[in-house]
Amino acid sequence: MRTRIVVDILLFLGVFVLPLWLICPAAIICLFLFENFYEIIIVAIFIDGLYGMPTRFLSIPAIFTLSASIIFIARSFLKKHLRF
């Protein structure tokens, strides 16, 4: 539990400090390391809220939240068939 709290704090601070290519893989790794890692959706909400803007290329306004939700649901079904 303590590890998870430390990871959560680092991950949330990372949203403000670290580049995206470091945060995304870290969040996905945590998703497989911890049970029900809801924090991935909250991290994505933070990214969308801070930097998100519908552009012509990314016309969906909350692309990270949407992706994180799909990954989170997919992982919970996938994990039953994986030994991790």
Among 10, 16, 32, 60, binds another protein (CB under 8 A): 16
Shortest spacing between CB 43 and another protein, in angstroms: 11
Residue 32 makes contact with another protein by CB under 8 A: no
Residues 4-40: b if buried by 16+ CB within 10 A, e if exposed = eeebbeebeebbeeeeeeebbebbeebbeeeeebebb
Shortest spacing between CB 2 and another protein, in angstroms: 23
Residue 33 makes contact with another protein by CB under 8 A: no
Shortest spacing between CB 10 and another protein, in angstroms: 13
Closest CA to 39 of 75, 82, 84, 80: 75
